[in-house]
Amino acid sequence: MALKNDFYQVGLSATPGNNFVLQTDAAGGFKLSRGILVVGVPVTSQDILTADASGYVDFLPTPWVTSSPTPTPSAGALGSAVAALRLRKQGKTVQYQLSVDITSVGTASGTISIPLPYVAATIGVLREWNGVGRESRQVGYGALSWVQSGTSTLFIATDNPFNNNHLLNVSGSYESAA
């Protein structure tokens, strides 16, 4: 078996508080920290190790999932807008990429909200998880995105009011509660 990297390490969690480390061994196989040789062992229900047809072993992250959520302004109504959301969850980390195409702004103002499938974790005094982006079709001004702790809503705000023919692109990550 050939490996793409000389050294490859992945954390495994068998039971709470009992972690293992999976490493490549000198013979090109895998072993847990206790010396058990394994190949193609599930790391979590979402992430696996697998060998391709050429014998290379790769870590396969969770694939991106796409959806078309409805963008909702905090005030007024959007005349015409569509959103495209990509996200993936690996462990408790949720990554997102969002594009909101505003054809007609209507009477919309304030922020835009997008529903998410995972509730954000509440950790100490942390009140929100932030991401960044920009309006990328006309002016190119900055955009900020955030998910407040304990909620499953992504908010977007920009430097300037929303206008017709704006394309807002934001990305970021947050820790899920579960």
Let me know if residue 26 belongs to a domain: yes
**Model's pTM, two decimal places?**
0.68
Other CB atoms within 10 A of residue 136 CB: 14
What phi and psi, each to the nearest 5 degrees, are found at residue 13? Answer: -125, 110
What confidence tens digit (pLDDT) does each residue in 130-152 have? 999 999 998 788 999 999 999 99
Q: Which domain holds residue 122?
A: 65-175
Lowest mean pLDDT: which of 17-21, 64-68, 156-160? 17-21
* Cβ contact 99:83 at 8 Å: yes
Let me know if residue 2 belongs to a domain: no
| Structural domain count, the chain | 2
For residue 127, what pLDDT is reported?
Answer: 85
Residue 168 and residue 150 share a domain: yes
Let me know if residue 4 belongs to a domain: no
Q: 173, 168, 172: which is closest to 158 by C-alpha?
A: 168
Residue 69 and residue 56 share a domain: no
Let me know if residue 3 belongs to a domain: no
Checking if the pLDDT of 74 tops 50, the result is: yes
Lowest mean pLDDT: which of 5-14, 105-114, 137-146? 5-14
Q: 83, 81, 39, 73: which is closest to 161 by C-alpha?
A: 73
Quote the CA–CA distance of 176 and 76 in Å, as a whole number: 30
Quote the CA–CA distance of 101 and 23 in Å, as a whole number: 45
Let me know if residue 111 belongs to a domain: yes
Residue 17 and residue 77 share a domain: no
Let me know if residue 30 belongs to a domain: yes
Residue with tokens 């974790």, as numbered in its chain: 121
